[in-house]
Amino acid sequence: MPDHETTNHHHGHHHGGWTMDQLQNLMRPDREKLMPRRPVLEQLGIREGATVADVGAGLGWLTFPLAEAVGRQGQVYAIDPSRDAIRMIQDRVQREGWSQVTAIEAFAERTPLPDGAVERIVWHTMYHDVHDRVQALQEMHRILSPEGRWVIVDWEKSPMEVGPPLSVRMNPDEVASELEGAGFRVLSRWTAGPVTWGLTVAKA
């Protein structure tokens, strides 16, 4: 499992301070076992031509599967505060010709996207790590279209060998309560994988 998800490096995510090793670890094949992508993509229910924001994109773990799902007519915004991560996504976009992917260096609290710009948002294992959640939730409410859907996946709040310290983890009830306070409603709760839970929400 990635270094950056262990206790020592836990706060690297939000501040964009990942080392290249930590970024590379994010793409390790064994991550798929712990954090399968399929359930996340199924919950998002992406159709061709859709517009999606992958917030906290890292090196594009979900960005490129999403790009495949939306097709050439769609648009995926890969948003991450790490300059290195964004540069690596951009390199891959150019190298492999992913014209539907736009990489943006930004925090979840403030993105350059217009109001109602995206039909789908995904946050994968980053909710617990966002610095100003009140601001970030307002921002997601702003950029999500009226009929849009936001899928959130985060670590189970139980002791395990991998992932961030137990003290910063949140259970789905805590997160649902914050989301409802920010003008969202929970559509479904689901098991995202062996170590993660999932919530799918829409505007209230």
Residue 68 CA to residue 41 CA, distance in Å, equals 11
Given a cut of 60, is residue 14 above it in pLDDT?
Answer: no
Given a cut of 60, is residue 1 above it in pLDDT?
Answer: no
Q: Where are the domains of the chain?
A: 3-203
Contact 5, 195 (CB under 8 A): no
Given a cut of 80, is residue 26 above it in pLDDT?
Answer: no
Given a cut of 50, is residue 78 above it in pLDDT?
Answer: yes
Chain segment 146-184, per-residue pLDDT in tens: 999 999 999 999 998 888 899 999 999 999 999 999 999
Given a cut of 80, is residue 70 above it in pLDDT?
Answer: yes
Of 14 and 46, more confident: 46
Which pLDDT score is estimated for 106? 98
Chain segment 84-126, per-residue pLDDT in tens: 999 999 999 999 999 999 999 999 999 999 999 999 999 999 9
Cβ count near 33 (within 10 Å): 12
Given a cut of 60, is residue 6 above it in pLDDT?
Answer: no
Residue 19 CA to residue 8 CA, distance in Å, equals 13
Res. 203 pLDDT band, cuts 50 70 90: very high
% of the chain at pLDDT higher than 70 = 86
Residues 6+ apart with CB under 8 A from 117: 51, 53, 143, 145
pTM, entire model: 0.87
From the options 3.40.1410.10, 3.40.50.150, 3.40.50.720, 3.40.50.360, give the CATH code of 3-203. Answer: 3.40.50.150
Please give the backbone phi and psi of residue 118, each rounded to the nearest 5 degrees, phi first.
-125, 145
Averaged pLDDT for residues 121-147: 97
